[in-house]
Structure 1
Amino acid sequence: MPVSDALAALQDNPYFGAGFGLLGVGSALALARKGAQFGVLAFRRHCMVTLEVTSRDKSYHWLLAWITQRARRAQHLSVDTSFHQHESGKISTTFSFIPSPGNHYVWYNSKWLRVERNREKQMIDLHTGTPWETVTVTSLGTDRQLFHQILTEGQWAVQARRAEWPTPAPNLYVSMCVDPGEAMYQGLGRLTFSGLLNALDGVASTEARLVFMTTNYLDRLDAALIRPGRVDYKQFVGHCSHWQLCQMFQRFYPEQPATAAQRFADEALAVSEQLSAAQLQGHFLLYKMEPLKAIENIQQITE
């Protein structure tokens, strides 16, 4: 029977016209919809593999580095600005453009990968103050080794970037104490001596950090502050010796011969035997590109 004749017969059917037929059609469409949803869910569960990485995981930055290399055609980008300090004190700035939150598609190892970057606007990381993010990578098939390759390549990319710029160790904190027996101020918040001790190794302390404390009055410091276990190493930094003068000169002017460094050290000690490293650095900065003038005008270092 042709479809047109079947539809005409349904129209003439009194039960169909009363609503039973429409109910049946609606039920059939609902079942078809449920079946399609179940089929899609079963396909994702058995024919697709998904990796989710949160911003708290160490491999998160590796995955972002890999996405940056692969998704070069992304039109919506986010910028990651980093600063790198050289041994000479010069600071260089680099910009890394990362695909912004949203969906991106990457062709990798003869497969299309769906990369979804989500950013929670209502949640932030209490340690870094940045919004909470997750990156989800979805691929056809069940090969989990693919994700291992992706993270390994991302790790290599991050290591290569760090190798280009010598940077200090992460999570490095520098604390200066002048007279911890009195109340001190840090920013807009008041810090007491007991609060300082708690910040060093008490309930308010954090892991993976180095603390440097400097003072001009070691004898005035409270014994609780510099006890063994809280201060592991003490180093007296006095005035520069002849060897230190030569080393600093060669560090600022590496192209100069050793004889020039020796001459600078001799003339500097002739001016004063009590020269600090800060004085030398300030003098060198005045003559960044003129090492000979730094030697000739050494008398100005005490002015």
Structure 2
Amino acid sequence: MGAAMSVLRRSATLAEVAFRRQMLMTLEIPSKDYAYQWVMQWMVANRVHGSRHLGVETTYVKDSAGRQTADFDFIPSPGRHWVRWRGNFIMVDRARETKTVDMSTGAPWETLTLTALSLRPGIFHELLSEAKQAALAREEGMTIIYQCYGHEWRPFGNPKRNRPFDSVVLDTGVSDQVFGDIQDFLQSQQWYLDRGIPYRRGYLLHGPPGCGKSSFVSALAGRLGYNICVLNLGDPSMTDDRLAHMLAVVPPRSLVLLEDVDFAVGQQAPHDPTGPYAGVTRVTFSGLLNALDGVIATEERLVFMTTNHFHALPRALVRPGRVDLSIYVGLASRSQLKRMYIRFFPGQEGLSETFATVCEDEGLSMAELQGYFMFFKNKPEEAVANIQAWLDERRKVHQEQLAKMRGETSSDVAEKTSDVDKVPPPEE
């Protein structure tokens, strides 16, 4: 009897193993995989069947008016749970590591294990596809801003609503030129490969501050359906190796934005030898060049660089291969003045001509124009009637700024202001 019981026990164990191998399917999803967040959100939407052990994810949202709301989503806590989906029962095992953590966030690593009967071999593929489509639907019409934390890209804040492409008013033909060049690049991958040309494209937007360089990149990303990865070269922890790594692991359908790229060219203050970054070598100009177009440079990427000091950039940085298209984004031209006025006051073509005539040679930036129009919402006539007084006050302020730079007195400023009708803004 003892031998018989032993044989039965052994047979039962083997039968259980055979059943698991033949009749059950298992899918493991580590927390560092993209699909992990998709499936967790999918589980929130489908509810955990009969679970009494839950965790909570709080979504803190602030609307455009500044009102704050908090939503609570209940998710299965670590352990085993059941989910019923399309007539199938799926066992969810959420396991959390206790000895290893993510060094950049301190959060423990986790693994989701989904187990289902193998009667439908494609059930997991269908589940992942549904979770992916649901995640993409939540991001439709949105632009995700990524920032680098440690050695990986992570979303910064909530996704932003796509900015209309025509909301950034550049000089005639500039926006369409850049958009057309990118469209041609995205459709020419095989052409690049056939000729042995690295499949990447670099753009440099340069000009005075407040003229719409960063805003144009944001609007362009929305038009293309891309996200934006912002790379801060002034980060004290940014080194040459980290820069190259971050450019190599850019999320799909994302463009890289390097703002104020002249920072890597100019002289940088050394680290405090007793500070938290003591002994860390910041990103160098040589490291920037190698990351953009060196042996370690990766392909299949779009890089946008911005600067307010174009003449300070060495020729080695702006040569073709690193900067394929250089665009000047300058002060408002007559065409921009008219289009900006019509955008705020649609249908006022006649007043736009008058407005552009008064402001044409004043050297206004687009940020200044937008700030001025904000005072005259739905009042196109008042915007034209008050522009001359606003320009006179602006000239006076610029004269005072110049006087402070030259050490002149207020009486000298008043005398010069009365003699000079129009004074351009101080140079960068």
| Alignment counterpart, residue 319 of structure 2, candidates 222, 227, 247 | 227
| Structure 2 unmatched runs, 5+ | 143-160, 163-220, 231-256, 272-276, 398-428
* Max Rg structure: 1
Matched, 1:79 2:167: no
CA contact (8 A) 2:35 2:128 kept: yes
Partner of 1:44: 20
Q: What is the identity, as a one-letter code, of the residue corresponding to 2:127?
A: I
Matched, 1:67 2:46: no
Pair 250,197 (structure 1): closer, same or farther in 2 beyond 3 Å: same
Q: Which moved more, 1:173-182 or 1:225-234?
A: 173-182
Partner of 1:7: none
Pair 162,200 (structure 1): closer, same or farther in 2 beyond 3 Å: same
CA contact (8 A) 1:106 1:113 kept: yes
- The offset of 1:297, in angstroms, is 4.6
| Structure 1 unmatched runs, 5+ | 1-23
Pairing 1:1-303 to 2, within 5 Å after superposition: 34-71=10-47, 76-79=54-57, 97=73, 99-102=75-78, 103-120=80-97, 122-124=100-102, 132-165=109-142, 166-167=161-162, 168=221, 169-173=226-230, 174-175=257-258, 176-178=260-262, 180-184=264-268, 190-202=282-294, 210-249=302-341, 251=343, 253=344, 256-259=345-348, 263=351, 266-267=354-355, 270-271=358-359, 273-284=362-373, 286-287=374-375, 290-292=377-379, 295=383, 297-298=386-387, 299-300=389-390, 302=394
CA contact (8 A) 1:101 1:116 kept: no
Q: How far apart, in 2, do the equivalents of 1:151 and 1:270 lie?
A: 59
CA contact (8 A) 1:242 1:266 kept: no
Q: What is the identity, as a one-letter code, of the residue corresponding to 1:178?
A: D
1:88-145 residue CA offsets vs partner (Å, 9 max, x unmatched): xx9999968362552332111212111223344514387x987544322111233221
- The offset of 1:202, in angstroms, is 4.5
TM-score, with structure 1 as normaliser: 0.68
Q: What is the identity, as a one-letter code, of the residue corresponding to 1:79?
A: E
Pair 291,113 (structure 1): closer, same or farther in 2 beyond 3 Å: same
- The offset of 1:146, in angstroms, is 1.3
Q: How far apart, in 1, do the equivalents of 2:347 and 2:107 lie?
A: 49
SS in 2 for 1:107: strand
CA contact (8 A) 1:180 1:221 kept: no
Q: How far apart, in 1, do the equivalents of 2:121 and 2:342 lie?
A: 53
CA contact (8 A) 1:183 1:191 kept: no
CA contact (8 A) 2:338 2:356 kept: no
- The offset of 1:210, in angstroms, is 3.9
CA contact (8 A) 1:179 1:220 kept: no
CA contact (8 A) 2:330 2:365 kept: yes
CA contact (8 A) 2:91 2:114 kept: yes
CA contact (8 A) 2:48 2:83 kept: no
- Taking only aligned residues, the RMSD between alpha carbons, in angstroms, comes to 4.3
CA contact (8 A) 1:48 1:139 kept: yes
SS in 1 for 2:261: coil
- The offset of 1:78, in angstroms, is 4.2
Q: How far apart, in 1, do the equivalents of 2:128 and 2:347 lie?
A: 47
CA contact (8 A) 2:82 2:92 kept: yes
Pair 164,214 (structure 1): closer, same or farther in 2 beyond 3 Å: closer
- The offset of 1:279, in angstroms, is 1.7
- The offset of 1:186, in angstroms, is 11
Q: How far apart, in 2, do the equivalents of 1:280 and 1:223 lie?
A: 33
1:150-202 residue CA offsets vs partner (Å, 9 max, x unmatched): 12211221222122534553352322123644333699663332233244344
Q: How far apart, in 1, do the equivalents of 2:56 and 2:295 lie?
A: 37
Pair 212,45 (structure 1): closer, same or farther in 2 beyond 3 Å: same
